[in-house]
Amino acid sequence: MPKVKKKTLNLRGNVLDLTTPVVMGILNINADSFYAGSRILSVDQAVERAGIMLSEGASLLDIGGYSTRPGAADISEAEETNRILPIIEALIHHFPDVWISVDTFRSAVARQAVEAGAVLINDVSGGTLDPQMFETVARLGVPYVLMHMRGTPQTMMTQHTVYNNLVPDVLFELQQQLATLRALGQKDVLIDPGFGFAKTPQQNFQLLNQLEAFQMFDAPVLVGLSRKSTIWRTLNIQPEDALNGTTVLNTLALTKGADILRVHDVREAMEAITLVTNCQPA
């Protein structure tokens, strides 16, 4: 019989049910993210944006202090930490029940974020940029997003987009990392195919077309397509105009098994989930 995919996450003793897909709202604490509308430059701004996202139905908020757009500038570990820790503390103060994810590939940042109250680590590198990351998250006992990427944000689009066979190659590389995580005792893992990371626009479309292949893992699937260049370059528009395209691709992802949509625009993603869910047989 086919494997039944895991449909819950343990968030520090609280259960997040993924029987119906959920939304993760993006909070970029930097001035360098590819979508200008997502940039947050103060604690007050973060609290305001978080309040809106939570009121619109976000189950998780994903805080990132390091821009991972193609070619983004590197920043120090100390600067990344200084950007996100005050935001975590402020959000927990204003929204005591909030579930915070931290978008980082650095184990030391992950550890400090969890100590400050984060309940999930979202690692765009899938453990390839910090050899201590897997041991750290396994020890912390929080869910971990294992994303597929090759290289670094500075090199991923210039040196790492050649594959022998895209989807099998991505699946194999994720499987290798997942096996290492499982051997360390990591229980809750989410799989992210890594749209836009070491993949051309055409490769992203191919990946989305075959998203069902990621059901092979006993893990929820997280999809991050929001306003990415695959949308706006294909449509010859700007990220600011890519909301409609985002909704189209998110809808396709939902029909192909996505469990979490990571987005800038929560209300529209929640509407997509509601409509797709109502189209499915009871």
What digits encode the pLDDT tens for the residues 226-264? 999 999 999 999 999 999 999 999 999 999 999 999 999
Inside any domain, residue 1: no
What integer pLDDT is reported at residue 10 of this predicted model? 95
280 has a pLDDT exceeding 90: no
Q: Could you list the residue range(s) of the whole structural domain that residue 122 is in?
A: 19-276
Catalytic annotation on 262?
A: yes
5-19, 69-83, 208-222, 232-246: least confidently modelled range: 69-83
Give the residues across from 123 on adjacent strands: 146
Q: Is the pLDDT of residue 120 over 70?
A: yes
Decide if 6 is inside a domain: no
Among residues 228, 233, 256, 267, the one annotated as catalytic is 228
How confident is the model over 169-188, as a mean pLDDT? 96
Domains identified in the chain, total number:
1
Nearest to residue 125, comparing CAs of 184, 183, 64, 83? 64
In a domain, 13, yes or no: no
**Is the pLDDT assigned to residue 171 strictly greater than 50?**
yes
Q: Which residue has the higher pLDDT, 172 or 282?
A: 172
**Phi, then psi, of 41 in degrees rounded to 5:** -120, 5
In a domain, 191, yes or no: yes
185 class by beta-carbon count within 10 Å (0-12 exposed, 13-18 middle, 19+ buried): exposed
Residue 162 corresponds to which amino acid? V
Q: Where residue 40 falls among pLDDT bands split at 50, 70, 90? A: confident
For residue 64, being part of any structural domain is answered with yes
Rounded to the nearest integer, the mean pLDDT of the chain is: 92
Residue 25 vs residues 10, 20, 99: alpha-carbon distances, Å: 19, 16, 11
Q: Which of 49, 83, 150, 262 is catalytic?
A: 262
Residue 91: CATH number of its domain = 3.20.20.20
Residue 104 lies in a domain: yes
Within a domain: residue 193? yes
The predicted model scores a pTM of 0.93
Asked if the structure places residue 5 within a domain, the reply is no
| CA–CA–CA angle 180, 226, 64 (5° rounding) | 60
Task: Judge whether 182 counts as a catalytic residue.
Answer: no
